[in-house]
């Protein structure tokens, strides 16, 4: 009550005390370096100790490890991931100023720190064990965990010693083996709560922080860096300190045996933002990398398409208003706005533009290619005309090679980590002995077969397919002209093609079906499927998600015509 200074981050005067005696802001969770002054008083005899302010943990257990909590493990995972992002060029402020505050807020909202003791499993655990030690119930200090900065060594969370001992007694009495103190309790809680921490949610935290600082990394790129091993995710628990023994139920929480899914990480990020009561995110403006105009330029280059198409993508973005700040900027908890997948949206805009110009019905695009081929034979000035057929052959050849390489890498991936894992103490010696035997056999067979050691991972790149205009084989189409398929009308260049086919006439309810439209390859032209497959490879997502965005853009673009058609059909039925 005597500390009346305003918070340097939010200017509020609403302070609480951590276990370490430091002041923290209960409004924005900012922890200051200022500590509480303690007044020494004489010890009064015959008095009973009512509180234990912090206490020391039971440092060593029987197996040589120290007591640790599941949230400590997840904090270490986040620390390793954000450090990997910093190595990729992300601004260093994202670590302690953004992600750390998000994590503190999550711990408070989920009642794991900076709050009163949870009234659920933790209290039940305390009632099961008959502990005679009274614990400080002061609501103004973090009762369970004192969170350190993500930049501090090993991310060690200091825990209330009486609670730690009580939970460990409960864990030992349940006959379920776990290296952590609260592994079994955490799994029970995870079944009841939707936003209990999981490994995919660590990526949701990272993407939320990237979106807040508007870094030029999309969600699809983040997940690709994870798969390529540039960001720790699979077997990340190998980086845990030696004293944090990981076994038993902990493996169900931290051991990942599947690739992260775009939709799951995306949806959890939005749920997290609403759960944390975050304000409106920084505006996505035209100069921001996540704006459709910027992303369309990137994907046009990667798809080896003509630069002139960028003018058309900009026209479509402006026409339907998907480049507006209010449409693109995330406002957590606002159910009236649609969740924007920036990378998928940009890819869908390019697909719609290709349909506007080339129709993509397996007939008209080949007809235009024949015309462009004839004109290129007689063309002596300017750049060559764009040939869709030639572009298709060049890109498909390169795409098949890269897809085969990706499939082989995934097939050869070793899901088992180098660090041996065991689910119980009884099997520990067997697992270690078997692991040593496997390593010895691999080394012996490697020497006999003369197998080559794995090369180091290449440096990450934003582009998976690269095309150079310096190549003389004509495999780069960036500088090709679209004049052969355009005509001037009222001072504007328009497509020679007056027709357009819609992917669907009526959109589905996305909340009920999960998709705006259903996509089946056999129901659509092969050219359209190839273009979807190309961007599906670049974004590492299912073609159906791009198809959904294409349908949404088409209904915005042809809204008036669709309304008239539906109204006319209704009248005919009557």
Q: What is the pLDDT of residue 250?
A: 83
Inform me whether the pLDDT recorded for 147 exceeds 80.
no
What is the mean predicted confidence (pLDDT) over 72-97?
A: 92
What is the mean predicted confidence (pLDDT) over 102-128?
A: 65
pLDDT per position as a tens digit, 435-494: 677 777 777 776 776 655 555 667 788 888 888 766 666 688 998 999 878 887 777 778
What three-state secondary structure class fits 285?
coil
Q: What is the pLDDT of residue 286?
A: 94
- Please say whether the beta carbons of 529 and 521 come within 8 A: yes
Query: Domain locations in the chain?
Result: 1-36, 66-114+195-278, 292-333+340-405+465-558
Q: What is the pLDDT of residue 40?
A: 46
Contacts of 400 (CB under 8 A, 6+ apart): none
Q: What is the pLDDT of residue 166?
A: 42
Q: What is the pLDDT of residue 174?
A: 38
Distance between CA atoms of residues 232 and 81, nearest Å: 6
> Exposed/middle/buried for 413, CB within 10 Å: 0-12, 13-18, 19+?
exposed
- For the chain, give the percent of residues with pLDDT over 90: 40
Inform me whether the pLDDT recorded for 83 exceeds 60.
yes
Q: What is the pLDDT of residue 194?
A: 73
Q: What is the pLDDT of residue 526?
A: 95
Question: CA 11 from chain center: how many Å?
Answer: 32
Inform me whether the pLDDT recorded for 571 exceeds 50.
no
What is the mean predicted confidence (pLDDT) over 343-366?
A: 95
Q: What is the pLDDT of residue 322?
A: 95
pLDDT band for position 239 (50/70/90)?
A: confident
Inform me whether the pLDDT recorded for 314 exceeds 80.
yes
Q: What is the pLDDT of residue 98?
A: 94
Buried b (16+ CB within 10 A) or exposed e, 30-40: bbbeeeeeeee
Where is pLDDT greater, at 97 or 38?
Answer: 97
Where is pLDDT greater, at 485 or 329?
Answer: 329
Where is pLDDT greater, at 215 or 195?
Answer: 215
Inform me whether the pLDDT recorded for 3 exceeds 60.
yes
Measured over all CA atoms, what is the biggest interatomic distance in the chain, rounded to whole angstroms? Answer: 107
What is the number of H-type helices and E-type strands within the chain? 21, 7
What is the mean predicted confidence (pLDDT) over 148-177?
A: 41
Q: What is the pLDDT of residue 233?
A: 93
Q: What is the pLDDT of residue 419?
A: 65
Q: What is the pLDDT of residue 160?
A: 40
pLDDT band for position 121 (50/70/90)?
A: very low
Say which residue the tokens 């993508």 belong to: 313
Average pLDDT, the chain: 78
The two three-digit tokens of residue 112, written as one number:
């794991």
pLDDT band for position 260 (50/70/90)?
A: very high
Inform me whether the pLDDT recorded for 18 exceeds 70.
yes
pLDDT per position as a tens digit, 270-301: 999 999 999 999 999 999 999 999 999 999 99
pTM over 0.75: yes
Q: What is the pLDDT of residue 191?
A: 66
Q: What is the pLDDT of residue 451?
A: 55
Contacts of 185 (CB under 8 A, 6+ apart): 121, 122, 125, 167, 170, 171
Where is pLDDT greater, at 15 or 213?
Answer: 213
What three-state secondary structure class fits 35?
strand
pLDDT per position as a tens digit, 23-40: 778 777 777 767 665 544
Buried b (16+ CB within 10 A) or exposed e, 210-224: bbbbbbebbbbbbbb
- For the chain, give the percent of residues with pLDDT over 70: 73
Distance between CA atoms of residues 55 and 132, nearest Å: 15
- Please say whether the beta carbons of 537 and 395 come within 8 A: no
pLDDT per position as a tens digit, 514-561: 677 888 888 899 999 999 999 999 999 999 999 999 999 999 998 766
Q: What is the pLDDT of residue 262?
A: 96
Q: For the chain, give the number of residues.
A: 574
Distance between CA atoms of residues 353 and 314, nearest Å: 10
Inform me whether the pLDDT recorded for 510 exceeds 70.
no
pLDDT band for position 563 (50/70/90)?
A: low
Which of 48-57, 80-89, 337-346, 420-429 has the least mean pLDDT? 48-57
Which of 65-74, 256-265, 409-418 has the least mean pLDDT? 409-418
Q: What is the pLDDT of residue 492?
A: 78
Where is pLDDT greater, at 113 or 367?
Answer: 367
pLDDT band for position 169 (50/70/90)?
A: very low
């Amino acid at each position: 009550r005597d500390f009346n200074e305003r918070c340097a981050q939010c200017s509020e005067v609403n302070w609480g005390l951590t276990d370490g005696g430091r002041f923290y802001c209960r409004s924005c969770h900012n922890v200051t370096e200022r500590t509480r002054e303690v007044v020494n008083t004489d010890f009064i005899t015959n008095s009973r100790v009512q509180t234990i302010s912090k206490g020391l943990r039971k440092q060593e257990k029987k197996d040589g490890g120290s007591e640790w909590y599941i949230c400590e493990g997840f904090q270490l995972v986040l620390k390793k991931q954000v450090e990997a992002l910093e190595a990729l060029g992300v601004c260093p402020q994202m670590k302690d100023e953004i992600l750390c505050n998000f994590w503190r807020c999550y711990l408070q909202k989920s009642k794991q720190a900076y709050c009163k003791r949870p009234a659920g499993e933790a209290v039940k655990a305390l009632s099961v064990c008959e502990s005679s030690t009274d614990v400080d119930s002061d609501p103004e200090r973090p009762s369970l965990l004192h969170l350190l900065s993500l930049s501090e060594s090993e991310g060690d969370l200091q825990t209330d010693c009486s609670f730690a001992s009580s939970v460990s007694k409960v864990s030992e009495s349940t006959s379920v083996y776990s290296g952590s103190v609260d592994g079994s309790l955490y799994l029970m809680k995870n079944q009841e709560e939707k936003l209990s921490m999981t490994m995919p949610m660590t990526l949701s935290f990272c993407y939320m922080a990237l979106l807040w600082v508007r870094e030029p990394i999309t969600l699809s790129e983040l997940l690709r860096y994870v798969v390529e091993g540039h960001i720790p995710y699979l077997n990340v628990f190998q980086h845990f300190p030696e004293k944090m023994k990981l076994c038993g139920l902990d493996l169900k929480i931290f051991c990942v045996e599947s690739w992260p899914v775009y939709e799951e990480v995306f949806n959890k990020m939005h749920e997290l933002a609403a759960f944390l009561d975050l304000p409106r995110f920084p505006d996505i403006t035209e100069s921001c990398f996540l704006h459709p105009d910027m992303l369309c330029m990137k994907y046009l280059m990667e798809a080896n398409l003509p630069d002139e198409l960028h003018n058309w993508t900009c026209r479509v973005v402006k026409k339907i208003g998907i480049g507006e700040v209010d449409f693109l900027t995330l406002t957590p908890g606002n159910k009236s706005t649609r969740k924007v997948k920036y990378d998928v949206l940009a890819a869908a805009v390019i697909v719609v533009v290709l349909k506007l110009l080339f129709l993509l019905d397996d007939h008209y695009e080949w007809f235009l290619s024949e015309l462009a081929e004839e004109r290129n034979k007689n063309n002596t000035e300017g750049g060559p005309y764009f040939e869709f057929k030639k572009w298709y052959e060049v890109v498909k050849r390169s795409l098949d090679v890269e897809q085969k390489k990706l499939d082989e890498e995934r097939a050869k991936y070793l899901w088992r980590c180098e660090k041996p894992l065991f689910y119980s103490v009884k099997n520990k010696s067997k697992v270690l002995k078997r692991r040593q035997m496997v390593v010895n056999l691999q080394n012996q067979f490697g020497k006999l077969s003369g197998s080559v050691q794995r090369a180091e991972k290449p440096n990450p790149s934003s582009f998976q397919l690269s095309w150079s205009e310096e190549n003389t084989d004509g495999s780069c189409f960036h500088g090709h002209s679209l004049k052969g398929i355009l005509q001037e009308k009222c001072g504007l260049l328009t497509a020679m093609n007056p027709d357009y086919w819609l992917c669907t006439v009526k959109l589905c309810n996305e909340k009920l079906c999960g998709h705006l439209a259903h996509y089946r390859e056999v129901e659509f032209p092969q050219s359209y499927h190839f273009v979807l497959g190309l961007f599906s490879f670049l974004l590492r997502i299912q073609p159906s998600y791009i198809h959904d965005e294409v349908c949404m853009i088409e209904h915005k673009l042809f809204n008036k015509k669709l309304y008239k058609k539906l109204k006319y059909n209704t009248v005919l039925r009557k």
